[in-house]
Amino acid sequence: MQQPLSGIKVVDLTRILSGPFCTMLLGDMGADVIKIEGVREGDPVRKAGTLVNDFSWYFASFNRNKRSMALDLRTERDKDVLVRLLQRADVLVENFRPGVLAEMGFDETQLELINPRLVVASINGYGSTGPYADRPAFDFVIQAMSGFMSANGGPDHPALRCAPPITDLVAGLYAAYGIVNALRARDLTGRGQRVESSMMAGMLSMFAYLTSDYLATGQLAPRTGNDHPITSPYGMFSASDGEIAVAPSTEDILARFMSILGLADVLADARFCTNDLRLLHRKELNLLINERLRRDTQANWIRRLNAGGVPCGRVQNVGEALNDPQMRHQDMVLEVMHPAHGAVQMVGFPVKLSGTPCKVRHPAPDHGAHTEEILAELGLSAARASP
């Protein structure tokens, strides 16, 4: 079955997370992704996370649907191999610090000479130009610098990081989005172009009303923990046996929520009759809601609220979410057989295409496993690659 990116060749010079996530997304859509790794050492993530049968499931999860080629790009011989790859490629993806690719002899001018149809995607911390361009960047620092950390946590607590490496994932996602748009533009113009996705810019684009409200008023939204900064009631509430996340985000949903709780008359109270007033008196309103919810179990309230069209759910841990029947129904946990390492479980495809679906064509490769195969495709012998 053809996939959306079948026939697209991607040369992947990335490592760790932001770049491998981007190229995994392209591979899932059918692209032929060639992961270039060093001869002596591969991607550091090969040794990260929990190892099962001496194999990193973390690496496996972000490097499926790729082939691995080991090259020493400090040598002219292997640089020539890379040039030959780029001459045939549609996309080059790198996540070096800005300027490193040029130092290797592959600046924009040289890349255009090699292949004017090549889409060149760069993923970095702050952008390739500007006062921070040369700074090193990792997720924790970008969460802090972007303002993301400052928006998390409660009003009486310090800024709080988001547990998953969100800045890497957002940058990789935006890069993949930019790449498919650049490929479509190439259909129209016949030429490739440069795509850049920075971690800090990507995070700044994710704030929704927090940035628009600041730009409109010059005022920062206060940290509100699990409460919503501009809507009340909205947040975490307590049933008799556990917490429930409830999001009555419109007046209609709120009316249904309060009616199910038997608190419809509360909305006529002068303290709670508008959203602005409810924000001012959030603590009193939350106390009333919690007192009522504690009269029954989490499961009973969730059943009744969902039946009434009120968005709600219990707080699940990662294991519970992975085993949630809805996620299993959505095939969000895959088991992939690796020829050397056995069965590997990983998260599935969140985007579903009815006619050209994502699929795992092959598992994450062993280090340099496809070097000879790819050299043969280029008409070169294995002796051409550095030992």
For residue 379 the two structure tokens come to 């008409």
26 half-sphere exposure, CB direction, 13 A CA radius: 34
| Strands 342-347, 194-198: pairing kind | unpaired
Q: Measure the N-to-C terminal CA separation of the chain; round to a whole number of Å.
A: 37
* Active-site residue, 367 included: no
What DSSP string runs through 307-358?
A: HTT--EEE---HHHHHT-HHHHHTT-EEEEEETTTEEEEEE--SS--SSS--
Phi and psi angles of residue 343, each rounded to the nearest 5 degrees, phi first: -75, 130
| Type and span of the H or E element at 98 | none
Kind and range of the H or E run holding 37: strand 32-37
* Residue where the block lists tokens 């890069």: 175
| Active-site choice (157, 228, 329, 370) | 228
Q: How many angstroms separate the Cα of 208 from the Cα of each of 134, 152, 213, 214?
A: 28, 14, 9, 11
CA-to-CA dists, residue 108 to 140, 176, 333, angstroms:
30, 20, 40
> Would you call the peptide bond into 233 cis, given omega within 30 degrees of 0 as the criterion?
yes
45 SS3 class? helix
The per-residue b/e assignment along 242-281, b for 16 or more CB within 10 angstroms, e otherwise, is eebbbbbeeeebbebbbebbebeebbeeeebeebeebbee
- Please give the positions annotated as active site: 228
